[in-house]
Amino acid sequence: MSIIDDAIDYVKKIFENDYSGHDVFHTLRVYKTATNIACKEKADILIVQLASLLHDVDDKKLSPLTYEHKDKTIKFLESHKVDEIIINRICTIIDEVSFAGKDTIVPSSIEGKCVQDADRLDAIGAIGIARAFAYGGSHNREIYLPDIEPKKDMNKEEYSKHISTTVNHFYEKLFLLKDMMNTQTAKTIAEHRDRYMKSYLSEFMAEWNGEC
Ligand code: ADP
Ligand code: NI
């Protein structure tokens, strides 16, 4: 078994019972998309593949106790005798991947840019819509409350503490992602997915207002 096969088995176990939009298929889509982007960008494929497969195993919300030191990521890589320099490169990619409002980081490596773009692409479009409502339901959030305005320009701390409706999440994160893509490949895909989300939300509002 290659290290990639082992990593796939590992994430299948970790995300077995997730219903919050973070099931293993999210990780597998990010892995596949990141690999495609990495080929076009001539990035280091093995680093991109390992970082994308492991990018959520120590996620702050999903694994708060291992988040700070990336215990699971490091343990997995060490048990496969991965060089310390490579482990550090993978940890940096994971550190730089997350959306954090105004404080979002542009990854310092091309490999990090590929993984960040792939993770963000999975948050938008048809699948992004499904994941957002799955997340909202699993966190007891309302679908939509017309009197609550989306909060703009949040910094990392404000964004992490903010509680809102799932429709507001489109304005607070999902519609911002198109212009935050790093690679041309991801920008092109993002434009299509963004248009689809906008048409979905206008249909949503028309139904809400009894216009169709
Ligand atoms: P990732 O880094 O994998 O995108 P997140 O934890 O930021 O992970 O989000 C997981 C999924 O849940 C994404 O599709 C995201 O858009 C969605 N999500 C995150 N926060 C909210 C929220 N407040 N309301 C609705 N969906 C959310
Ligand atoms: Ni993710």
Tens digit of pLDDT for each residue in 122-160? 999 999 999 999 999 999 999 999 999 999 999 999 999
Query: pTM of this prediction?
Result: 0.97
Cα–Cα distance measured from residue 182 to residue 155, given in angstroms and rounded to the nearest whole number: 20
From the CA of 127, the nearest ligand is: 1
Ligand 1 residue neighbourhood (C-beta within 6 Å): 21-22, 56, 61, 98-99, 119, 123, 128, 131-132, 135-136, 141, 166, 169, 173-174
SS3 state of residue 100: strand
From the CA of 61, the nearest ligand is: 1
Q: Is the separation of the CB atoms in 113 and 184 below 8 Å?
A: no
pLDDT > 90: what percent of the chain?
Answer: 96
Q: Which ligand 1 atom is nearest residue 131's CA?
A: 14
Q: Probe ligand 1: pick from 99, 173, 197, max atoms within 8 Å of CB?
A: 173
Q: Give the CA count within 13 Å in the CB-facing half-sphere of 11.
A: 28
pLDDT of residue 1: 83
Give φ, ψ of 14 to 5 degrees: -60, -40
- Position 18 pLDDT exceeds 90: no
The two tokens of residue 80 are 């496969």
Domains of the chain: 3-208 (1.10.3210.50)
Give φ, ψ of 163 to 5 degrees: -120, 125
**CB-neighbour burial class of residue 156 (10 A; exposed 0-12, middle 13-18, buried 19+):** middle
Q: Give the confidence band of 21 by pLDDT, cuts at 50, 70, 90.
A: confident
